[in-house]
Amino acid sequence: MSAAAHTLALSGLDAIPVQVEAYLHPLHGDAFEPLVVTGLSETESRETKVRVRSALQALGVDLVRGVTVTVTPAGQRAGGAADLTIAVAVLAAMGAIPAASLEGTWIVGELSLTGAVRPVRGVLPVLLAARKAGVKRVIVPAGNAAEAAAVDGIDARVAATLEAVVEHLRGTQALPVAQGMAFVPPVTSADMADVRGQPVARRALEIAAAGGHGLLLVGAPGAGKTMLARRLSTILPELTRDESVEVSAVHSVAGILPDAGLVTARPFRAPHHTVSDAGLVGGGNPARPGEVSLASGGVLFLDELAEFRRSALDALREPLDTGTATVRRGDVQASFPARPLVVAATNPCPCGYAGDPSGRCRCGAERVQAYRARVAAFAGRFDLQITLPPVDFAALRAEPAGESSATVRARVTAARERAGRRGAPAPATALERVARTIADLDGSEDVLACHTSEARLFVGGEAGRVQCPLCGQRVAGVCGCGVAP
C-alpha cells in the first residue's frame, strides 16, 4: 500500500514543490530497516528517520512492516521541514489516516522526538509559493502562525503536535486557523529630533533618503556618525504591506522573523567590520541571506569602512549593482533581493583625529594616505560625502531640538512620489542625480542653479568643510596654516 503527501523545499526565496511517497511492504529478517528514506542527503536522511520513528512511537505507532519513503525531486534541501510530511505519508500508507485527506494539502514542519511540531525557517515564502501554485490548504507549525496568517487567499492551519495533525486529517478535530497581528507600523525611539544642530548632516540624510543615494560620513570618533546613520531609516517612507511581505520573507528564511509576524519597520543592519564575505552577501547550505539582503528595503550601515576586508567590499559590488544577491554552492543557486540604502562611516585617519584642533593626531602623511586609499576603493558607491566637524558639546546643548523624523519623512515621501511620476530616470552623473533629488525636495519641476550648486557640495565631499581666508584650504578641522575654522 502506498500514499503521497506534499511539501516544499526552499531555494533562496523560491519554494520548490516536493512530493513524498511512502510504500509499505513486509519486513524480511532482522537486518531489514523498518524505515528507509531516499532522495535526501545522507545526513538529512539519517536525522529525519530518527525523528520520524520516535514521533510515530510517541503516537503509539510501531513500524512492524518496512516503509520506503521517496522524496522527489531528489537532492533538494528540505531539511527538518519535511519531517511532518513524511510522518503523515507513512501513516496514510498504513491506513491510519485517509489518503484522500492529503490531496490538495501541503504540509510543512519539523518533528521533535516526542511528536511536537517545531517551527521552521521560510514559512512565509513557502506559503507565497503555495498560493502561486494554486494550493488552497496548508498545515504549518503553530510557532509559524503569525507569518502564515500574513498570506491571504490560502487556508493555513497550524499544528502543535503530530497527533493534532492526524485528528485533523481524520476529520475528528480541525486544526485552528493561523492568526497574526494587525499590520501596524512600529514606534521607534530613534528620531531626527535628537539631532541638535548639524544642519549639513541633517540635509545630507534627507537628500540620501529622498533619492536613494549612498552616503559616506567622515569624522572623528564622537562626531555623531553612528547616531546619524541610525536615524536614516526613520525618515524613509513607511513600508507598504507588499514591501513588508518581501522584507519579512527574507527574514523568515534567515530565521529571524519577529513573533509578531511581519516586519513593519525599515530594516537597519550594521555588520561588524570583521564580517565574512558570506555574512555580507549570503551563503551556507541551505542558502541563507547575508546582511545586504537582510537590509534590503532599509539601510545597510558600514561603520569603520576602512577596516572592512577588501574581499568583503568586493563581494558587495555585484549585489549592489544588480539589486540581487546570488548564492552559489555547486550546482545549486539561490537568489535574494539586495536593494538597501548604503551609508558608511570612516575616520579621517588611522587614529581618527586628523585636523582636530587639539593637535593630538600623530599619524604620518603616508599612513593617512594609505588609510584613505582603503576607503577610496569603495567611495565611488556614495553619491553623497560629508565631513562632520568636531563636536562642541556646550554649543549643541544650547541648540533647540531639530525637526522630527515624521516631518522630514513627509518631505522625503513627497519627493519620491514626485520622482515616481516622472517614470524611469535617464542615465545621469552623480551630480545630476543629486541636483534632481534636491529639486524634488524643494517641489521644483526644474533643476535650478541653486540645486546644482548645493549638489556640488555633497557630491564633491566639500559639505561640512570651511575655507581658510588665508591659505584657501577647505577642511573640517584646522587647515595647514592653523587658522580655519
pLDDT value of position 251: 93
pLDDT value of position 485: 42
**Best-predicted range by mean pLDDT among 361-375, 429-443, 463-477?**
429-443
3-state secondary structure of 242: helix
Check whether 357 has a pLDDT greater than 80.
no
Stretch among 86-100, 111-125, 463-477 having the lowest mean pLDDT = 463-477
pLDDT value of position 372: 87
- Per-position DSSP letters for 290-356, written without gaps between them: -HHHHTTTSEEEESSGGGS-HHHHHHHHHHHHHSEEEEEETTEEEEEE--PEEEEEE-SSSSS-TT-
Check whether 483 has a pLDDT greater than 50.
no
Check whether 228 has a pLDDT greater than 60.
yes
Higher-pLDDT residue of 131 and 270 is 270
Q: Distance between CA atoms of 65 and 185, rounded to whole angstroms?
A: 54
What average pLDDT does this structure show over 246-272?
A: 89
Contact by Cβ (8 Å): 292, 300: yes
User: Three cell numbers at 473?
Assistant: 584650504
Beta bridge pairs of residue 386: 217, 463
- CB burial class (10 A; 0-12, 13-18, 19+) of residue 126? buried
Stretch among 220-224, 236-240, 259-263, 326-330 having the lowest mean pLDDT = 259-263
In 3D, which of 220, 217, 371, 227 has the Cα closest to residue 307?
371
What average pLDDT does this structure show over 398-417?
A: 91
Q: Distance between CA atoms of 136 and 127, rounded to whole angstroms?
A: 10
Higher-pLDDT residue of 10 and 78 is 10
Residue with cell 532599509: 298
pLDDT value of position 186: 67
Q: Distance between CA atoms of 297 and 28, rounded to whole angstroms?
A: 58
Mean pLDDT of the chain: 88
What average pLDDT does this structure show over 226-254?
A: 93
- pLDDT tens figures, 306-349: 999 999 999 999 999 999 999 887 667 889 999 999 999 999 99
pLDDT tier at 65 (50, 70, 90 boundaries)? confident
The residue type of 426 is A
pLDDT value of position 484: 44
pLDDT tier at 469 (50, 70, 90 boundaries)? very low
Q: In the CATH scheme, what architecture does the domain 2-170 have?
A: 2-Layer Sandwich (3.30)
Show the CA angle centred on residue 145, arms to residues 150 and 55, nearest 5°.
Answer: 145
* Rg of the chain (C-alpha set): 28
pLDDT tier at 252 (50, 70, 90 boundaries)? very high
Sign of CA dihedral 256, 258, 262, 265: negative
3-state secondary structure of 115: coil
Check whether 66 has a pLDDT greater than 70.
yes
Higher-pLDDT residue of 460 and 451 is 451
User: Three cell numbers at 280?
Assistant: 555580507
Show the CA angle centred on residue 334, arms to residues 306 and 45, nearest 5°.
Answer: 120
pTM here?
A: 0.88
Q: Where are the domains of the chain?
A: 2-170, 192-475
pLDDT value of position 259: 74
Q: Distance between CA atoms of 452 and 428, rounded to whole angstroms?
A: 13
pLDDT value of position 467: 55
Check whether 219 has a pLDDT greater than 70.
yes
Contact by Cβ (8 Å): 359, 220: no
> Rounded to whole angstroms, what are the CA distances from 397 to 67, 197, 198, 402?
74, 9, 12, 12
Q: Distance between CA atoms of 158 and 127, rounded to whole angstroms?
A: 13
The residue type of 164 is A
pLDDT value of position 481: 46
What average pLDDT does this structure show over 108-137?
A: 91
User: Three cell numbers at 112?
Assistant: 521533535
Q: Which helix (H) or strand (E) holds 141?
A: strand 137-141
Contact by Cβ (8 Å): 59, 162: yes
pLDDT value of position 62: 85
- pLDDT tens figures, 175-211: 999 987 666 666 677 899 988 878 899 999 999 999 9
Q: In the CATH scheme, what architecture does the domain 192-475 have?
A: 3-Layer(aba) Sandwich (3.40)
Q: Name the H helices within 263-345.
A: 277-281, 291-294, 310-322
pLDDT value of position 473: 55
pLDDT tier at 482 (50, 70, 90 boundaries)? very low
**Best-predicted range by mean pLDDT among 62-71, 247-256, 290-299, 455-464?**
290-299
In 3D, which of 454, 481, 449, 451 has the Cα closest to residue 467?
481
Stretch among 247-261, 280-294, 304-318 having the lowest mean pLDDT = 247-261
